Structure 1
């Protein structure tokens, strides 16, 4: 009897996907009908955070390459294949070890040349579908952002959300609205920085007056800096501002539209604050370069004395 590993995968942010339990039910039915013995089960759940790691998949792959299974059973090939080139390479490595990846729903015999051709065609179609879907989502979110609608994530301190009717899309959407309880604190922070108060002085003032963040925590220097740099407070709607690794990265596809959302800070104050931030950053860079230069000179002098 052939030995097999059963593998299932879902993405937590895709509600329409077949559940892990259903995938395993289909795999087990296929194995029973085909006289295949499932020796191990593996499953991965790709989280909404965007992590692409598949720890169970890696363990299963290592076992398979060591000859522990004759085949890997999946509900559909798209549960195994994600990146066309990379995963096709993995499949070739497995087949060189006489381990075959079998799709239970698509019923393709990949132990034959015609079956492998069918799998290759399905892989190409799946890749086309995903790329086309990403393009459609990108286009739709761009159009929604250009109208100033809320597109998810934490609601910026100083704002709340208001639901309105999007007549064009025939659905309700949310827009930013000033939170009158939090807005005075935002204005105070900008006012203090514009009047030459330091980040630490602002933090001290807020915490001394028991003015907490929305989550009830004390303010920090980093939270103040992040607020002072945010263009939304000046009424400039921004989207695709930065990346996951760096929120201040300058993306070519970013959206930045003035007067598209209610401003808490007037343009004059906001510009004054940005000028001061820029000067502080430039001064910080010069100080670091000067310190590095002094340190280098010091090392050189020590080496000369030793000589």
Structure 2
């Protein structure tokens, strides 16, 4: 009996049973099951696990749009193993279309799909040829082929792949043929989910170049090739990212240039060269939008309509034609430091090699306007009078708002104090007709005309102060240069900490924005401190000339030019109840030119001769302590007078 229990094959066991029965060896079956209980239990557990997997697959439809969240399928495969998922899943032969195969072809990039000038490049035809040859070798007919041109295998969200997985349910092919398994997926989770779908419907995956049959060695090879494909994809992405970061560090543009610029590429001597240049159809309009928004007198919605009227559109892509810009596009333009010559990549700012559209100071003013509109709210304005934004109430200092009212058969325009109806400051000033305020502003220009003898006195006073300002300018330059050096050091330390993993991405982005703004301000201070005596004299002459002829120029100007002249001369004009200008705040350099001087006093010109009252006599006095960085610089007189 003992030698009977030592046999293991089924055939030998049956023979032993027969012999035991003939020799009267007792109840062989009871003894045999007791001796082999371990083997029976293992087989029972395997059958039970297979039933669970089959039940799960029949219950859950595994699609690639759900694979990212379908961890149950992945857990089942890990527990049971690939060899156990095959059992019990093949539909009956009567329900399968024997001799039918589907082919899947893919290339990763659009460039590969267009290589050689053909509609499909070189790779897809080569894959197709190999797959058809494999189908012929297997003796099956290709029912349909599915081509994803320019689609990455890192994601299963591919149009033709999804169509293939859907058609498997109705076509019921015998094989799905690919050139290599990495054409199907380079993501391990996608690979597992795709294979679950194929095996559920009894479809065998065939590779033209790899032996991935259902033997243990074939399954091992398949697993290794799938892991290698995922490693290749991840490693390639990491290497590409290194190259993009390096390009940004050198001032290049490692992304699609924003609206107003065009990406260019050229092959020279077997090497690829890429650069960014201005878009001749859009750059000037984008530049105009940024400069206008920096004035604070436009809402983003107003600028969108104005830019559309000028012909600004989005750039066409391979899948979308050019179209109208949206307000979100306009806000993206406002916030992008690329337009001032800075490349922002992964939260880090680098000095770019491309041509900037605006000065850094203008970009900072745009950010200030964005912040102000974000706090106060931004409203669209239907009426745009040329005095809006310049005039204020002389009683409470509130801004005057433009209003058009209908009545008595006509439309009447007024300026009303913004604080008139507020609880905090209920201003009692009445509304003033627009015509009366326009006359008051024109009268102010007549009274502020500077006679020739005053021009000479101002010129002499400024020249006398130039020598003292030179020493101060040198100190300012030294201070600004040292500040910029410290900011550069801080920026480098921040980058080193980020590369070491000590700084999270969100903190890096906020710190980079702060440092970029501080560096721009330091550069502006350095530029102002480097102003030469010749620059000061040129701007001084321009300012004195404008002050001597401003009245006649203002009266003859159109409304748009009057608006620019007002912004060039005045920061604020305070309007009285009768529409006259009771006081004013001048812009630089005019504010410096009319400071009271006790060192170089001279009498004001009589009102009968020049129209200048005692209240405005300060304008006819020369300046003491005029700072050169107020006479020449980014915020000085020159930009304003360029519009006059």
Q: Does 1:105 align with 2:209?
A: yes
5 Å-filtered alignment, 1:242-281, equals 253-258=346-351, 261-281=354-374
How far, CA to CA, are the matches of 2:171 and 2:106 in structure 1? Answer: 22
What's the counterpart of residue 310 of structure 2? 211
How far, CA to CA, are the matches of 2:282 and 2:194 in structure 1? Answer: 54
How far, CA to CA, are the matches of 1:268 and 1:283 in structure 2? Answer: 23
Q: 1:46 to 1:284 in 2, by over 3 A?
A: farther
Equivalent residues of 1:212, 1:219 under 8 A apart:
no
Bigger helix share: 2
Equivalent residues of 2:340, 2:358 under 8 A apart:
yes
Q: Does 1:151 align with 2:254?
A: yes
Q: Deviations over 1:81-137 (max 9, x none)?
A: 23212222321443354321010122x142222211111111111111111111111
TM-score, structure 1 as length reference = 0.69
How far, CA to CA, are the matches of 2:226 and 2:264 in structure 1? Answer: 43
What's the counterpart of residue 77 of structure 1? 181
How far, CA to CA, are the matches of 2:280 and 2:159 in structure 1? Answer: 47
Equivalent residues of 1:149, 1:173 under 8 A apart:
no
Give the root-mean-square deviation of aligned CA atoms. Answer: 3.8
Q: 1:89 to 1:18 in 2, by over 3 A?
A: farther
Q: Deviations over 1:3-53 (max 9, x none)?
A: 322222233425278633322221221222233x12412313244799853
Equivalent residues of 1:46, 1:52 under 8 A apart:
no
Q: Does 1:139 align with 2:242?
A: yes
How far, CA to CA, are the matches of 1:88 and 1:162 in structure 2? Answer: 41
What's the counterpart of residue 147 of structure 2? 44
Question: Where in structure 1 are there 5+ consecutive unaligned residues?
Answer: 240-252, 286-307
How far, CA to CA, are the matches of 1:116 and 1:205 in structure 2? Answer: 64
Equivalent residues of 1:11, 1:46 under 8 A apart:
yes
5 Å-filtered alignment, 1:17-96, equals 19-35=123-139, 37-47=140-150, 53-65=157-169, 68-96=172-200
How far, CA to CA, are the matches of 1:188 and 1:273 in structure 2? Answer: 12
Q: 1:38 to 1:271 in 2, by over 3 A?
A: same
Q: 1:185 to 1:68 in 2, by over 3 A?
A: closer
106, 109, 114: which is aligned to 1:9? 106
Equivalent residues of 1:162, 1:176 under 8 A apart:
yes
TM-score, structure 2 as length reference = 0.36
Question: Where in structure 2 are there 5+ consecutive unaligned residues?
Answer: 1-97, 116-120, 316-321, 379-644
How far, CA to CA, are the matches of 1:39 and 1:262 in structure 2? Answer: 55
- Choose 16-25 or 266-275, whichever is displaced more: 16-25
Q: Deviations over 1:227-281 (max 9, x none)?
A: 2222112221223xxxxxxxxxxxxx33312465443322222112111112222
Q: 3-state SS of the aligned residue for 1:237?
A: strand
Equivalent residues of 1:78, 1:126 under 8 A apart:
yes
Q: 1:204 to 1:23 in 2, by over 3 A?
A: closer
How far, CA to CA, are the matches of 2:357 and 2:233 in structure 1? Answer: 40
Q: 1:283 to 1:52 in 2, by over 3 A?
A: farther
Q: 1:82 to 1:193 in 2, by over 3 A?
A: same
Equivalent residues of 1:237, 1:261 under 8 A apart:
no
- How many residue pairs match? The answer is 264
What's the counterpart of residue 293 of structure 1? none
Residue 140 of structure 1: how far off its partner (Å) = 0.7
What's the counterpart of residue 301 of structure 1? none
